[in-house]
Chain A
């Protein structure tokens, strides 16, 4: 009589585990939301551009190194992005993907292309489920032949972490 009761109890526990938040196999009370928090947003600094006769590249590496075509005159040094990841499964490899994007200035048709993101390779969470994500990217002018207006350009990027 005692035996079936115990089996039933085990089934309830298992259901709770399967459905417990984001597919992570922990009790409900222990589920922690994953967070990706910016420590430093990516910036390509301030520069002058001699011309836009072709797609000129300005690259900031994940480690902070800057490579620029001769058309760029860098005035404020670009910086790579850095984000803090928390609440992920401990000691787990992460895959980061960031689609291409564009940077625009309000009220103008000018834009820069942003691509070739380079997230930290082999990124793995630590024992507490945290990690530091850094990445660089390449900025390209449109190559339209018309130089850019002075001012601020900005754009959004979607940072997706799979685990």
Chain B
């Protein structure tokens, strides 16, 4: 009786091994996972201070080809020059005070400690909307034309912009008024 019982257990064990081998060949479990990412190509940029040259006596050469030039550095210093009379930019801020500043742009929310490319383009001459029979002042250049800035640890950076104005020749003399122009500033990684 004891012998018979032992034999039966052996049969069970064999069957069990067979089951395990069979299961190992086919068993599989699948689950669905998720993967994500965020694209953040946009760079937030704001003109915190518009470029302002101040108040100037501006005379153009309506009879010849003399040209006056006014250079505003990217630190806000205005320097007038001329090729000859009567063309002239003369600073009269002492008698007609006006703010003067380079253009200042602020970048926020960009990648930290990262080089950002800066480019200026689409320069539009300065016009006087309320003047009658005046002429435009040439926005000759904006500096930098191209440059790079590096963001700080918070992803912020500051861009300073200067420009060069030139008087035109011929045509009507400049009238008193506010002259304004535009330019585009583009940033990208």
Could you tell me which A residues sit within 8 Å of B by CB distance?
A: 2-3, 6-7, 10, 13-14, 17-18, 20, 22-25, 34-36, 38, 41-50, 73-76, 78, 81, 83, 88-89, 92, 101, 103, 105, 112, 114, 137, 139, 147-163
Contact = CB atoms under 8 A, between A and B. Distances in A.
Contacts of B38: 45-47, 76, 151-153
B35 A48 contact: no
Contacts of A7: 8
Of all A-B residue pairs in the complex, the 6 with the closest CB atoms, nearest first, are A23-B23, A25-B19, A44-B37, A36-B31, A46-B38, A14-B15
Nearest to A93: B24
Contacts of A148: 39, 41
Main secondary structure of the interface of A (DSSP, over half): strand
Given A17-B16, A22-B23, A153 B4 contact: no
Nearest to B24: A163
Interface of B: 1, 4-5, 8, 11-12, 15-20, 22-24, 26-42, 110-112, 114, 188-189
A155 B35 contact: yes
B35 A41 contact: yes
A152 B36 contact: yes
Contacts of B26: 23
B27 A43 contact: no
Nearest to B11: A10
Contact of B12 (A13, A151, A154): A13
Nearest to A95: B28
Given A25-B20, A114-B35, A155-B35, 5 more contacts: A10-B12, A49-B39, A150-B40, A161-B28, A161-B30
